[in-house]
């Protein structure tokens, strides 16, 4: 059999012009099912998600999405679903940010599991609840402790950088929202703009680009 004038595409072994499509798919590797479900959840167009890099709002979890609980002398993550309480306005605020074209990505440190204070199952149950109720694209969690010296535990920007790679996020057009100095530092290190959410009992020493006292105030800052 004569050799074809152009080699068939190595991905799909079909028409030569399919190479272009496959090149795009290889350059922006995104499982098709994930793209479809993220489009359904976030309302982002196919063009936004594959060709163009998306702008994102990275959100810390405890103190930004859900209320913290005072335990062992500090504000901490809830222990189980009976302690789970949403931050005021989180549903409407995140829906509005999603409608403005932002991918919403949760980046949370969860060292309580290795410290023996929390189980992985309960953390997974919290995250399933968040994914059910809020238009978030993905939740990244670091389960290490400081001594592990991993690249993902905030203030390191590892989770944000990984999300940027996996979800084609343009970091310079993106934001990090957190209630701790470590969130703000991670956001800065990733090249994002930053917003510090100040809780009623918090006096965190951090200088972010903006500060808010209630989550809906985000809508006046992130346009
Ligand atoms: Mg927090
Ligand atoms: Zn980590």
> Is there a domain that residue 3 lies in?
no
Cα→Cα distances 174→31, 117, 131, 161, 177, Å: 23, 33, 21, 12, 10
Query: Phi/psi class of residue 13: alpha, beta or left (left: φ > 0; alpha: ψ in -120 to 50)?
Result: left
Q: How confident is the model at residue 1 (pLDDT cuts 50, 70, 90)?
A: very low
- Of the candidate ranges 49-53, 109-113, 150-154, 156-160, the one whose mean pLDDT is the lowest: 49-53
> Is there a domain that residue 60 lies in?
yes
> Of the bound ligands, which one is closest to the alpha carbon of residue 158?
2
Q: Residue 30: pLDDT above 90?
A: no
77 C-alpha to center of ligand 2: Å? 17
161 C-alpha to center of ligand 2: Å? 13
DSSP SS3 for 36:
helix
Q: Residue 2: pLDDT above 50?
A: no
Q: Domains in the chain: how many in total? A: 1
Candidates 161, 162, 202, 208; CA nearest to 183 is 208
111 C-alpha to center of ligand 1: Å? 12
Range of the domain at 49: 31-220
> Is there a domain that residue 71 lies in?
yes
Kindly give, in sequence order, each residue whose CB lies less than 8 Å from that of residue 135, ignoring residues fewer than 6 positions away.
Answer: 41, 42, 43, 94, 95, 98, 104
Q: What is the mean pLDDT of residues 63-68?
A: 97
- The gap from C-alpha 21 to its chain's centroid, in whole angstroms, comes to 28
Does residue 139 contact residue 162 with C-beta atoms inside 8 Å?
Answer: no
Q: What is the mean pLDDT of residues 80-104?
A: 98
Kindly give, in sequence order, each residue whose CB lies less than 8 Å from that of residue 128, ignoring residues fewer than 6 positions away.
Answer: none
CATH of the domain at 171: 3.40.50.1000
pLDDT, position 199: 78
> Of the bound ligands, which one is closest to the alpha carbon of residue 176?
1
103 C-alpha to center of ligand 1: Å? 20
Burial status of residue 47 (CB atoms within 10 A of its CB: 0-12, 13-18, 19 or more): exposed
> Of the bound ligands, which one is closest to the alpha carbon of residue 141?
2
> Is there a domain that residue 9 lies in?
no
Q: What is the mean pLDDT of residues 193-217?
A: 89
- Helix ranges (H only) for the chain are 18-27, 32-42, 46-50, 90-99, 120-133, 158-167, 181-190
> Is there a domain that residue 187 lies in?
yes
The set of catalytic residues is 60, 62
Beta-carbon neighbour count of residue 104 at 10 Å?
A: 23
> Is there a domain that residue 40 lies in?
yes
| Strands 69-71, 74-76: pairing kind | antiparallel
């Amino acid at each position: 059999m004569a050799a074809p004038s152009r080699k068939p595409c190595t991905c799909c072994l079909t028409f030569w012009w399919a190479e272009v499509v496959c090149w795009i798919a290889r350059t922006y590797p995104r499982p098709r099912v994930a793209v479809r479900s993220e489009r359904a959840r976030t309302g982002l167009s196919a063009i936004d998600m594959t060709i163009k890099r998306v702008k994102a709002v990275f959100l810390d979890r405890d103190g930004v999405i859900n209320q913290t609980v005072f335990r062992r002398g500090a504000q901490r993550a809830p222990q189980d679903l009976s302690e789970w309480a949403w931050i005021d306005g989180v549903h409407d605020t995140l829906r509005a940010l999603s409608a403005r074209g932002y991918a919403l990505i949760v980046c949370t440190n969860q060292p309580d599991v290795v410290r023996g204070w929390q189980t992985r199952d309960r953390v997974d149950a919290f995250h399933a609840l968040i994914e059910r109720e809020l238009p978030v694209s993905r939740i990244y969690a670091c389960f290490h402790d400081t001594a592990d010296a991993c690249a993902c535990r905030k203030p390191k920007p590892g989770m944000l950088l990984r999300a940027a790679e996996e979800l084609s996020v343009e970091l310079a057009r993106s934001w990090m929202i957190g209630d701790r100095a470590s969130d703000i530092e991670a956001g800065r290190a990733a090249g994002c703009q930053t917003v510090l959410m100040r809780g009623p009992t918090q006096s965190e020493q951090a200088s972010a680009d903006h500060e808010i006292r209630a989550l809906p105030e985000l809508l006046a800052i992130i346009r």
